[in-house]
Amino acid sequence: MNIELRPQPRPGVMDIDAYVPGKSAAPAGVARVHKLSSNENPLGASPAAIEAAKAAAERMEFYPDGAARRLREAIAETHGLNVANIMCFNGSDEALALLTRIYVGQGDEGIYTEHGFLAYKIYIQSVGATPVAARESAETANVDAILAALTPRTRIVFLANPNNPTGTYLPIDEVRRLHAALPGNVLLVIDAAYAEYVRRNDYEAGVELVSGSGNVVMTRTFSKVHGLGGARIGWIYAPAAIVDALERVRDPFNVNAIAIEAGVAAMRDRGHVERSVAHNGRWLGWVTAELGRLGLRVTPSVGNFILIHFPDAAKHSAALADEYLSARGFILRRVTAYGFPNALRMTIGSEDANRGVVAALAEFLKA
């Protein structure tokens, strides 16, 4: 067989670094594992969502509602939004990828911040465009740096707010300043996956910006506070023209029937959301303070995770800490690919997990 005759990816595809998720397993022999690598909800999914999923599983022979109408209505009722401007997806990742595919092409540019979600760069490269990383300040998005990166070829700007893996955020006044300076043909995508956890008076997820403009999209997810990462549900709030364009290219039946029913129940179970946010509020501050007492720097976070920086790349490196923690059943996230070779990201977990990580790191730093 002539290997030159096999199908070849188009130029640029094999230059893309594949996304690598956080690990989920400890070394063999570890009895109890605390997975703190993927920013999942330690309280799990709403019991109502679990029951709804079980009921939907009894009807798996039927296709789902292709418009996910009931799910969109539940989102609209909960957040006070116009249902016609809401779309649901197989995770917010699907929405981010489709927006790039629609509005960015060969020879264009897309901007993201230097420590932003790795998928942004992948989506930009996947359409043959050039990814441009705007520098951050104090591990936080910098509006002036984003604006300085603009060129006539810029077509999309991704802003994770709050950002993963840093947990930092931009106040709404800064987001408005960014939007006001963007040309009308540049799409601003505000990825607000962790919005429910933020308790700051100067933060907004982006609804008002979407409502008052034609070039802003807000993306959200059920994977974090709702605890439905395995169901893969994301949603957006977008201007009518953008919704129309997305409807023309999205996959039919892109949200499965079990996910739709689980999502409806999860969205309406506000008690579960409040308990999840309260748990995170308690332990985010505690873990941050305790690690600070150990001499570890923690980037101030408003999400459900923290970025822990290690002081010594030789004796007490992130790699050695990761190995030490994994051997004790605590699975954190390496973030070298995000530009933090000597840091680990930790999801705020259960009380046992949080106390266990702090105790293990105290031992590690003494070793």
Q: Is the per-residue pLDDT at 53 higher than 70?
A: yes
Same domain? For 237 and 258 the reply is yes
pLDDT tens figures, 124-166 = 999 999 999 999 999 999 999 999 999 999 999 999 999 999 9
Same domain? For 174 and 317 the reply is no
Same domain? For 242 and 338 the reply is no
Better pLDDT: 195 or 32: 195
Distance CA 164, CA 50 (A): 27
pLDDT tens figures, 305-357 = 999 999 977 789 999 999 999 999 999 999 999 999 999 999 999 999 999 99
Distance CA 112, CA 131 (A): 8
pLDDT tens figures, 152-210 = 999 999 999 999 999 999 999 999 999 999 999 999 999 999 999 999 999 999 999 99
Banded pLDDT at 2 (limits 50, 70, 90):
low
Question: Which of 269, 284, 316 is where one domain is finished?
Answer: 269
Question: Which of 229, 245, 269 is where one domain is finished?
Answer: 269
User: Residue 310 sits in a domain of what CATH number?
Assistant: 3.90.1150.10
Residue 24, C-beta contacts closer than 8 angstroms, at least 6 positions apart: 35, 37, 38, 331
Question: Which of 269, 290, 316 is where one domain is finished?
Answer: 269
DSSP string, 281-323: HHHHHHHHHHHHHTT-EEE--SSSEEEEE-SBTTTB-HHHHHH
Residue 26, C-beta contacts closer than 8 angstroms, at least 6 positions apart: 33, 326, 327, 329, 331
Same domain? For 168 and 265 the reply is yes
Say what the pLDDT of residue 350 is.
98
Q: Do you know the residue count of the chain?
A: 367
Say what the pLDDT of residue 151 is.
98
Residue 92, C-beta contacts closer than 8 angstroms, at least 6 positions apart: 191, 193, 219, 220, 221, 223, 234, 235, 236
Say what the pLDDT of residue 19 is.
80
Same domain? For 71 and 122 the reply is yes
CB of 217 closer than 8 Å to CB of 237: yes
User: What range does the domain containing 8 cover?
Assistant: 3-44+271-366
pLDDT tens figures, 86-128 = 999 999 999 999 999 999 999 999 999 999 999 999 999 999 9
Same domain? For 122 and 99 the reply is yes
pLDDT tens figures, 245-304 = 999 999 999 999 999 999 999 999 999 999 999 999 999 999 999 999 999 999 999 999
Q: Which of 333, 313, 322, 312 is nearest to 361 (CA)?
A: 322
- The token duo for 238 is 């977008």
**For residue 191, what is the DSSP state?**
E
Distance CA 320, CA 282 (A): 28
| Average pLDDT of the chain to the nearest whole number | 96
Better pLDDT: 6 or 345: 345
pLDDT tens figures, 54-76 = 999 999 999 999 999 999 999 99
Banded pLDDT at 10 (limits 50, 70, 90):
confident
Longest CA–CA separation in the chain, Å: 65
Same domain? For 165 and 205 the reply is yes
Banded pLDDT at 18 (limits 50, 70, 90):
confident
Q: Pairing relation of β-strands 340-347 and 86-89?
A: unpaired
Better pLDDT: 26 or 354: 354
DSSP string, 324-347: HHHTTTEE-EEEGGGTEEEEEEEE
**For residue 232, what is the DSSP state?**
-
Q: Pairing relation of β-strands 234-237 and 340-347?
A: unpaired
Q: What's the number of domains the chain is made of?
A: 2
User: Residue 129 sits in a domain of what CATH number?
Assistant: 3.40.640.10
Say what the pLDDT of residue 72 is.
98
Count of CB atoms within 10 A of residue 294's CB?
Answer: 15
Same domain? For 40 and 53 the reply is no
Same domain? For 263 and 313 the reply is no
Q: Is the per-residue pLDDT at 22 higher than 80?
A: no
Same domain? For 142 and 201 the reply is yes
Same domain? For 234 and 318 the reply is no
Same domain? For 115 and 181 the reply is yes
Say what the pLDDT of residue 3 is.
60
Say what the pLDDT of residue 20 is.
78
